[in-house]
Amino acid sequence: MEKNRESPGSPILRIKELTVAYKLRDKVHNAVRDFSLEIEPGGKYGLVGESGSGKTTIALAILNYLGKDGLIQGGEVLFKGKDLLGLTKSQLKEVWGSQISLVPQNPQSSLNPSMRIGDQIAEVFSGRNGDFAGDILFRVLTLLERVHLPEPGKIARMYPHQISGGMQQRVLIAMALSLNPDLLLLDEPTTALDVTTEASILGLLQEEVTGSGSSALYVTHNLGVAAQFCDRLAVLYAGDLVEDGSLLDIFQRPLHPYTTGLIASIPSPGVSRRESKLISIPGQIPPLGARPAGCVFAPRCPIAVNICLQTPPLTETGANRSVRCHRWEEIEQGLLDRRRFFSTYNGDKPEKISKPVFDNARNLLDLKKVGVHFELPRSVIEVFTGKSPDTLKAVNGVTFSIPGGSTVGLVGESGSGKTTLARAIMGLELLTNGRVEFAGKALPQKLSERDFGILKKLQIVFQNPDEALNPHLKVGTSIQIPIQRLLLCDRDDAEKKAIQLMEAFQLPAEYFNKKPHQLSGGEKQRAALARSFASNPSLLIVDEPVSSLDVSVQAAVLNMLDEFQQKEANSLLFISHNLAVIGYMADIVAVIYRGCLMEVSRTEELFSPPYHPYTEALLSAIPIPDPAVTRARIHLEGDIPSPVDEPRGCPFHSRCPRVLGDTCKSEQPGWQFDRQGNRFYCHIPLEELESSQDLLFD
């Protein structure tokens, strides 16, 4: 693609000391301060930060598209030499789309639900050059093909709700690429997607950006994704640029304590909590308007000293490398012992914890061929013509057990049935077939048939911390109520116990009287955990407990969960789509796909061959926050097929990269066991899998 350049070699985008503020109820708060960045033509820059860091603000400021509450207080945004901040709306419209375009975060809310896909893409073209309808149609179809969407003609006629999230995001990418822009802004384009879909979208983006020679600015909180896609990184914390450099430089020699902590707090696949604690950064990101004077990170920094009360300058430490820290030289020269440095984050050294003794004599929870089927409603015509209703088999013949005192991980992507299974165990959904046994006795299906003795031993924590607590009650009251009821305490006793429980989850006693909306996301999740732990359950189901939290807070919550379990020796059923987190927390892992279990293995053996082909794809899709690691990525074609179509053979055959052919399509596999007792639901003999699969993790 021809590229317009001011002069060869000069940056295509140069941001100089950009300062952006927001007006909130008559007060002006600084969101981004003195931010500077340069993107070379063809460069892929990553803007990494957690929530509240200002990264989306910067992306919107580049486009000069902040809402009416956003004020640009200073700085310049030079695109090909011209300051975008000085342009009028009509001049900006020339730039938007054709020279700079944006791929937004949430595909579902970014597409017009009442327009067909083809029409939405055509909107980009129409009104520009008066093209003929036939020409536009051709361009739309070509675009859809370019982003590898199957059957472009069919998709162009569909509405957004009829296609999956991954496909929607591809449509948005197509729209962003349609006019061949010189700069592509990507605002967390894969955050809302499953890990395998994410991997294929990243592959598509790589292909496009490299192929067309355009530059890209990738905004994300996921270091693993940044490590795969970008060649340079800028790390943001609470509105300040704290570190800037090439990808390898930042990962191999991080110079800012925040960057170090961030990289270290991500669980590496294959490392388990029995071996070491997760590094977590204590505290939380200061909200807008509450930022401390001096170094913004100082309150959470393990090596903060007196000079940190003054704002550190952005120092250039080398070619194209800068950091904003007073003590960067000490860090660079390794004067701070790295192990001590890491351990100062936690207060104690990471230590080995002895393996628990599983109470194998009797499992805590046994699931035997559990199925949960839903009948789909029929249209009126179908009722009259006597058509039998379609069944959606959300959970289909699942059998596994949870031993006492252990953590079992349940891994699956969206639509796999893992949440439905959790709800069925809890009694919120009815089983269609199979049985569930709790401590050897059959578990009554309906919630109303379970007595307090059972209720208090079986609890669940849901994914969304905003919904876990009654917004009208004080936080402490929400925790006190189950203690009072299920543990039969009187009110004062329960209040004391509630405060103890809150402190165990690092919520100060003053929080008792606060309302949920006054707490941050991480604090709400901890309060939700405290509420569910209140009755000291023997089995706690946690459904994606850390997925909605910032990375620096995730580690703290996981550590807390771990400590609690060690102390009270209860079992956890840990549901997640994040294999690295599950690998860290779980002793046994069950992999579920379309309602059926594919593999059940002990964690230490999950990460080495033989892998079930689906597990293999999931593992290879994990974005590793280490750019030095390059792996062959196994791409799964297409999306999870609709669970209404029941396959006769193996549920995975339509996407399996190792599919054998007719056997897989027509015959259901059986369970194969390996030497250690792990089981696999596959036709391919284990020896063959073992020999042909590469070790994915060291």
Partner 1 sequence: MKPGKKPLKITFSGVSSSRPSEFIKHLYNRPVSAFGATVFFIFCVMALVGPYIAPYGANDQIASEAGQPPSPDHWFGTDNLGRDVFSRVIIGARDILVLAGFGTLIAVLFGTCIGLLSGYLGSWFDEGVMRISDSLLALPAVLLALLLLGTMGPSRRGVLIVIVIVYTPIVARVVRSVALSVRKRGYVEIARLQGEARGEILFREIFPSTVPALTVEAALRFSYAIFLVASLGFLGLGVQPPNPDWGLMVQEAREHVSQIPWAMFFPAGAIALVVIAVNLFSDGIKRYLQDS
Interface with partner 1 (CB under 8 A): 426-428, 447, 452, 455-456, 458-460, 462, 464, 467-474, 477-478, 481-482, 484-486, 488-491, 493, 531-532, 534-535
d(CA 526, CA 540): 14
Q: Give the nearest distance from C-beta 522 to partner 1 in angstroms.
A: 17
Counting other chains too, the contacts that 502-510 makes at CB distance below 8 Å and 24 or more residues apart are: 502/475, 502/476, 502/527, 502/530, 504/530, 504/560, 504/564, 505/529, 505/530, 505/533, 505/560, 506/556, 506/560, 507/475
Q: Give the nearest distance from C-beta 168 to partner 1 in angstroms.
A: 25
Return the number of the residue (275 or 467) whose C-beta is nearest partner 1. 467
Amino acid, res. 244: D
Coil, strand or helix at 152: helix
Return the number of the residue (75 or 427) whose C-beta is nearest partner 1. 427
Return the number of the residue (65 or 452) whose C-beta is nearest partner 1. 452
Q: Give the nearest distance from C-beta 542 to partner 1 in angstroms.
A: 13
Q: Give the nearest distance from C-beta 185 to partner 1 in angstroms.
A: 33
Return the number of the residue (16 or 474) whose C-beta is nearest partner 1. 474
Element at 21 (helix H, strand E): strand 13-24
Q: Which of 263, 269, 247, 250 is nearest to 345 (CA)?
A: 263
Q: Give the nearest distance from C-beta 568 to partner 1 in angstroms.
A: 18
Q: Give the nearest distance from C-beta 515 to partner 1 in angstroms.
A: 8
Coil, strand or helix at 62: helix
Return the number of the residue (428 or 629) whose C-beta is nearest partner 1. 428
Return the number of the residue (195 or 475) whose C-beta is nearest partner 1. 475
Q: Give the nearest distance from C-beta 432 to partner 1 in angstroms.
A: 19
Are the beta carbons of 249 and 628 closer than 8 angstroms? no
Q: Give the nearest distance from C-beta 286 to partner 1 in angstroms.
A: 25
> In the 3-class helix/strand/coil scheme, how is 545-607 assigned residue by residue?
CCCCCCHHHHHHHHHHHHHHHHHHCCEEEEEECCHHHHHHHCCEEEEEECCEEEEEEEHHHHC
Are the beta carbons of 166 and 201 closer than 8 angstroms? yes
Return the number of the residue (450 or 679) whose C-beta is nearest partner 1. 450
d(CA 93, CA 110): 19
**The two structure tokens encoding residue 204:** 């598509």
Q: Give the nearest distance from C-beta 319 to partner 1 in angstroms.
A: 51
Q: Give the nearest distance from C-beta 548 to partner 1 in angstroms.
A: 12
The 8-class DSSP code of residue 674 comes to -
Return the number of the residue (459 or 570) whose C-beta is nearest partner 1. 459
d(CA 557, CA 398): 29
Q: Give the nearest distance from C-beta 491 to partner 1 in angstroms.
A: 5
Q: Give the nearest distance from C-beta 359 to partner 1 in angstroms.
A: 24
**The two structure tokens encoding residue 653:** 């055959």
Any idea which residue has 């051709």 for tokens?
138
C-alpha 105, offset from chain centre: 13
Q: Give the nearest distance from C-beta 396 to partner 1 in angstroms.
A: 24
- Helix axis angle for 338-346 and 257-264, nearest 10°, is 80
Return the number of the residue (89 or 517) whose C-beta is nearest partner 1. 517
Any idea which residue has 């294929």 for tokens?
200
Q: Give the nearest distance from C-beta 468 to partner 1 in angstroms.
A: 5
Cβ contacts of 508 within 8 Å, gap of 6 or more: 502
- C-alpha angle 593/442/397, rounded to 5°? 20
Return the number of the residue (389 or 471) whose C-beta is nearest partner 1. 471
Torsion of CA 580, 582, 585, 587, to 10 degrees: -120
Cα 80 to Cα 4, 19, 73, 210, 559: the distances in Å are 8, 20, 22, 20, 48
C-alpha 271, offset from chain centre: 19
Q: Give the nearest distance from C-beta 489 to partner 1 in angstroms.
A: 6
Q: Exposed, middle or buried, 395 (CB in 10 Å: 0-12/13-18/19+)?
A: buried
Cβ contacts of 584 within 8 Å, gap of 6 or more: 267, 271, 272, 273, 278, 558
Q: Give the nearest distance from C-beta 316 to partner 1 in angstroms.
A: 48
Return the number of the residue (167 or 541) whose C-beta is nearest partner 1. 541
**The two structure tokens encoding residue 620:** 């290879």
* Beta bridge mates, 411: 576, 591
- Tell which phi-psi region holds residue 429, choosing left (phi > 0), alpha (psi between -120 and 50) or beta: beta
Q: Give the nearest distance from C-beta 529 to partner 1 in angstroms.
A: 12
E strands, 49-140, are 70-79, 82-83, 100-103
Return the number of the residue (161 or 472) whose C-beta is nearest partner 1. 472
Return the number of the residue (123 or 493) whose C-beta is nearest partner 1. 493
Are the beta carbons of 283 and 268 closer than 8 angstroms? no
Return the number of the residue (92 or 473) whose C-beta is nearest partner 1. 473
Return the number of the residue (29 or 485) whose C-beta is nearest partner 1. 485
Q: For 214, list phi and psi in degrees, rounded to 5.
A: -80, 165
Helix, strand, coil percentages (3-state) for the chain, rounded to 5, are 35, 20, 45
Return the number of the residue (478 or 554) whose C-beta is nearest partner 1. 478
Q: Which of 277, 233, 238, 268 is nearest to 251 (CA)?
A: 233
Are the beta carbons of 177 and 146 closer than 8 angstroms? yes
Return the number of the residue (8 or 377) whose C-beta is nearest partner 1. 377
